[in-house]
């Protein structure tokens, strides 16, 4: 019987990069970057309950990325169809013009996709994941499959490092800091928590929230206009974070927020365990 490797399989860059501990930083970093698009962030703020359920919002996003990477074709397409149905029902209101817009506008979906995968790649590499320029070209090309899941056309999505850089250059004039972006910035630095969790979260999480912010590209930090750790300091912090999480047994680390990598290993065998040594 043929075993289903999913959209990517063990011999892809995606399979091995997405299991890296530094993906946690990349995920938070991508939310800061996404929030610089006025309409994209308005759609999130106006339709999401993230302020009331911060951990749930983040864990659901991380779980979808994990499922799309390690799930079977049937599981992935079922989950993607559910996400598309949710997006199709949602509207946002432009904060400047008052115009209503669909949150699944292809331009917005493309922005969210590019901000996400570019942040995943940048944060993990700065943290020490051994991906070369050729690996990153392949990663962005592979991630066109993820873009198709939310309704984009693969050929419209940047598929290399150069194409991704060109996309961001073209987008910069359309990006800016807004009150909604400030809301996301504060949320990602200090998520609202029950009283008994507030002190430990401020001590334990806030520096990581700021580290993720500091991993943004220089131009994005400039748009926020808020101080960040130095480039060298952010890279050193990311490497330290990756090293610290690498000590945690993989079975435990990959159980949060979901077990998708573990389920894939159970399906395909231990040789499919994600690791840098499997990079193509």
Name the CA dihedral angle for 190, 191, 197, 198, rounded to a multiple of 10 degrees: 30
According to the model, what pLDDT value does residue 198 have?
A: 54
According to the model, what pLDDT value does residue 151 have?
A: 96
According to the model, what pLDDT value does residue 256 have?
A: 81
Q: What is the pTM of this model?
A: 0.94
Token pair for 238: 């990311």
Token pair for 31: 């939310």
H-helix or E-strand spanning residue 159: none
102 φ, ψ (degrees, to nearest 5): -75, 140
CA 164 to chain centre: 15
Ranges in the chain, pLDDT < 50: none
According to the model, what pLDDT value does residue 167 have?
A: 98
93 φ, ψ (degrees, to nearest 5): -120, 125
Q: Which residues contact 7 (CB under 8 A, 6 or more apart)?
A: 68, 69, 73, 76, 145, 146
H-helix or E-strand spanning residue 91: strand 91-93
Domain ranges (residues) in the chain: 13-278
Could you give the CA distance from residue 125 to residue 132 in angstroms, rounded to a whole number? 9
Query: How many percent of the chain have pLDDT more than 90?
Result: 81
According to the model, what pLDDT value does residue 1 have?
A: 64
Q: Are 236 and 213 in contact (CB under 8 A)?
A: no
């Amino acid at each position: 019987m043929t075993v289903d490797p999913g959209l990517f399989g063990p011999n892809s860059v995606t399979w091995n990069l997405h299991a890296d501990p530094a993906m946690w930083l990349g995920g938070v970093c991508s939310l800061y970057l996404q929030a610089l698009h006025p309409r994209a962030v308005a759609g999130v703020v106006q339709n999401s309950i993230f302020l009331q359920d911060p951990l749930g919002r983040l864990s659901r996003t991380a779980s979808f990325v994990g499922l799309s990477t390690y799930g079977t074709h049937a599981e992935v397409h079922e989950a993607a169809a559910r996400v598309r149905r949710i997006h199709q029902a949602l509207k946002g209101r432009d904060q400047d013009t008052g115009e209503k817009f669909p949150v699944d506008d292809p331009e917005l979906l493309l922005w969210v996709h590019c901000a996400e995968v570019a942040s995943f790649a940048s944060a993990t590499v700065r943290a020490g994941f051994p991906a070369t320029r050729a690996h990153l070209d392949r990663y962005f090309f592979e991630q066109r499959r993820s873009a198709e899941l939310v309704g984009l056309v693969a050929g419209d999505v940047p598929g290399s490092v150069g194409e991704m850089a060109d996309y961001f250059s073209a987008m910069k004039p359309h990006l800016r800091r807004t009150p909604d972006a400030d809301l996301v910035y504060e949320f990602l630095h200090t998520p609202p928590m029950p009283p008994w969790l507030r002190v430990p979260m401020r001590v334990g999480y806030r520096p990581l929230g700021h580290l993720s912010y500091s991993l943004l590209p220089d131009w994005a930090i400039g748009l926020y206009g808020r101080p960040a750790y130095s480039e060298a300091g952010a890279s050193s912090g990311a490497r330290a974070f990756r090293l610290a999480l690498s000590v945690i047994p993989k079975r435990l680390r990959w159980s949060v927020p979901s077990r998708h990598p573990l389920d894939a290993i159970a399906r395909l065998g231990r040789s499919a365990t994600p690791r840098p040594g499997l990079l193509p």
